Amino acid sequence: MIMGMPKKSSPFELLLDIDQLYRSVGDNLPEQKVLQSKTWTGIGFQLDSHYFVIGIDHLEEIILEPSYTYIPIVKPWLKGVANMRGHLLPVMDLNKLFGMTSGTSRKQHRVMAVKSPDEGYVGFLVDAVYGMQHFSMDSILSTKTVDVPELLLPFVSGVYQGGQQNWLVFDAKSFMASSQFLAIGQ
């Protein structure tokens, strides 16, 4: 029995009285204002010693490095073509493409299936994936504030500070439209 409340005949009436009591007490509390800053969410990944994020709207899924079929007379960074549930997935080693070395063990390597402009998918082989990263939209920095390799600069649209490291925002759309990406044949 709750102090100060009359005895009720049914449990439902008792719940109604409790609800009314708490609502009356709550009316005297100060109004809470929730400040919600707009956030940007991306998937974090690593190439060599650099940390990147790619917008979740560009990503279809993340998979372990699959078996793939080698394609002759192509650039060495095109690892081959994999079968992803009946669809062909070209797998590209971004470290090789950008002239970097892998900074992690092969067990950590992942392939990110990224949506391509032609409605298909392209697999980006990366050193590691760090899951969802959330950043305040107000905290984006210019690429001039951090050391970005010259070859990557056209494909980095900004930088977020997260924890102890800078996260470079990888612009997949610009990358897939670049001559560097499109020049697959040797």
Q: What is the pLDDT of residue 147?
A: 79
For residue 87 the two structure tokens come to 């669809």
Q: What is the pLDDT of residue 78?
A: 94
- Enter the pTM of the model: 0.75
Q: What is the pLDDT of residue 95?
A: 92
Q: Which residues of the chain have pLDDT under 70?
A: 1-8, 26-29, 31-37, 186
Q: What is the pLDDT of residue 132?
A: 94
Task: List the domains of the chain with CATH numbers.
Answer: 40-182 (2.40.50.180)
Q: What is the pLDDT of residue 39?
A: 87
Q: What is the pLDDT of residue 14?
A: 82
